[in-house]
Structure 1
Amino acid sequence: MAAYDLYGVKDLSVSAASLSVEESLKLSFERRESSYHGGEYYFSGNKESEHFTLKNNVDPFDGEAVEHEFPEYPILLYVDMTDRAEEVKGKLAVEFHLLRHELLD
């Protein structure tokens, strides 16, 4: 079963958070720009399999939190289509807080 997880971090900028995730999970982020994602964001993987999106928790159109349930977390990390949710959680546990965990077939 693939997991779709959402993590939040409070005390890092999006660029500092990207370095932390890269080091913890041994992956490389690509820095991107998109108005849909609120400007600068980071992406790793491909949309057909496990992938990671790291971005600010700000909707560029209304200035509100993208994830309304978690406005206290300024940085969000989406871990999509992962088969290793527990491993990722263990490696990110120091700075990142698991906010949502969903399993899909």
Structure 2
Amino acid sequence: MAAYDLYGFKGVSILEAKLKIEGKLNFSFEESDSSYQGGVYYKFGEKDSECFILKGNIDPCDGESVEQMFSGYPLLLYVDMTLRSDEIKLSLGTEFDLLRHELFD
């Protein structure tokens, strides 16, 4: 089963979070810019396989939190279609809070 996980980050800039994640998971994000994603965001992977997206928790249309249940987290890391959810959680450590974990066939 593939997992869709959401992590939240507090008190760091998106660049600091990017560097920490890259170091812990041993990959390099690609920088992108999209009004849909709220400006600059970072991506690793493809849509039809394991994919990571690091972005701010701000909706560009209304300035509210994208994930309103988690408005206390200024940065979000989406981990989509992963088969190694537990491994990623262990690698990220305690400074990255797992906010949501969903399993799909």
SS at match of 2:43: strand
**CA distance in 2 between partners of 1:14 and 1:35 (Å):** 16
SS at match of 2:90: helix
**CA distance in 2 between partners of 1:23 and 1:94 (Å):** 15
- Percent identity between the two aligned chains: 59
**CA distance in 2 between partners of 1:10 and 1:89 (Å):** 16
**Aligned Cα root-mean-square deviation (Å):** 0.6
Q: Which runs of 5+ in 2 are unaligned?
A: none
**CA distance in 1 between partners of 2:94 and 2:22 (Å):** 14
Residue 100 in 1 paired to residue 100 in 2?
yes
SS at match of 1:61: coil
Residue 31 in 1 paired to residue 35 in 2?
no
Q: Which runs of 5+ in 1 are unaligned?
A: none
Deviation at 1:95, TM superposition (A): 1.5
TM-score of the pair, normalised by structure 2 = 0.98
Deviation at 1:94, TM superposition (A): 2.6
**Number of matched residues?**
105
Give the letter for the 1:94 counterpart. T
* Misfit runs of 4+, over 6 Å: none
The aligned counterpart of 2:72 is 72
The aligned counterpart of 1:82 is 82
* Higher mean C-alpha deviation, range 12-21 or range 53-62: 12-21
The aligned counterpart of 2:46 is 46
* Higher mean C-alpha deviation, range 78-87 or range 91-100: 91-100
TM-score of the pair, normalised by structure 1 = 0.98
